[in-house]
Amino acid sequence: MNVDGTNIQPLSDTSEAVDYASISPDGKHIAFITGYPRSPAYRVDSLMVMDRDGGNKRLLTKTPAAYPSWSPNSQSVAFAVVLHSPGSSYYGIFTIGLDGSGEKRVSNILGSYHLSGWFRDYRLLGGVAQDTLDGTKYVNGCYIFLMDTMGNITSRWGGGGAASWSGMGSHDGKHIAFISTKSGTRCVYLLNVENNRDSLILRDQNDFFKEPVAFSPDDTQLLYNAGGSGLGKMRIVDLRTGAVKDITPFKDDTTTCLAVSWGRN
């Protein structure tokens, strides 16, 4: 749909359970997670890819997946996978080529990962709720991190008793929008990656912030999901003025709307 909530175009049918859709940087493809309850050919939580117009839909991997994110050159997709160890489950981060080749696990430490983006310098942006060290789990709040494609965490923010999660990187690689409770309530912050300083963008008053979704193509606006009334609402905040506008396409009180991506055209 358009950024003003008009021109809605369905890209999937009602037999599909679709989630985590993500438009490739070149605007040609959409990666998404789906289940086909009526077809044995696919299983729930399969990673799929299709052309931007909804055509040429195909299975990318049979590995149960979540949180697909495109590489800057639109040739690979990173995704999270639920893994299991004795007594616990956790997310691992994987990558795969657009043609379905080269699937590999990237993360090399245990933790409850949330994958949220791929930086322009080919570092992966995500969040973790807990580490496992020598078999002993400890929780240090939640923190967001940047990880290289070898699985090494190169930068991290948050923790220390405050929860910080749902990080989303800008297209120019200079900022990360994230949610944190360090002020006592859920608020959206903007982190300057170069100087490690953050500023508050939105304070939770009537909205219950769910997650930052995407920066606008020119990085001047931020698309986010909110849901103070229990229903999902789609909103955009102007990072220069702080002005907020609601772009939820359905204005009734029974439809939940969640934004998942922001294309370049």
- From 150, 70, 66, select the one nearest 106 (Cα to Cα): 150
Q: Which residues 6+ apart lie within 8 Å of 86 measured at CB?
A: none
Q: Which residues 6+ apart lie within 8 Å of 177 measured at CB?
A: 167, 168, 170, 188, 189, 190, 191, 201, 212, 215, 222, 224
- Provide the pLDDT for residue 234: 84
- From 124, 128, 125, 127, select the one nearest 111 (Cα to Cα): 128
- Provide the pLDDT for residue 81: 80
Domains of the chain: 11-161 (2.130.10.10)
* Number of separate helices (H) and strands (E) present in the chain: 0, 21
- Provide the pLDDT for residue 43: 44
- Provide the pLDDT for residue 97: 94
Q: Look up residue 34 and give its two tokens.
A: 């789906």
CA 156 to mean position of chain CA atoms: 17
- Provide the pLDDT for residue 221: 93
User: pLDDT truncated to tens, each residue of the chain (265 aa)?
Assistant: 677 777 777 776 655 666 678 888 888 999 888 765 444 444 457 888 989 888 888 888 878 787 888 888 899 998 888 776 555 556 778 889 999 999 988 875 555 556 667 776 777 777 765 544 333 343 445 778 788 877 777 887 776 666 677 788 888 888 988 888 777 777 888 999 888 888 888 876 555 666 788 888 899 999 888 875 556 788 899 999 989 888 887 766 666 677 777 776 6
- If DSSP codes are grouped into helix, strand and coil, which group holds residue 191? strand
CA quadruple 98, 99, 101, 102: dihedral, nearest 10: -20
CA distance 251 to 260: 18
CB 65 within 8 A of CB 46: yes
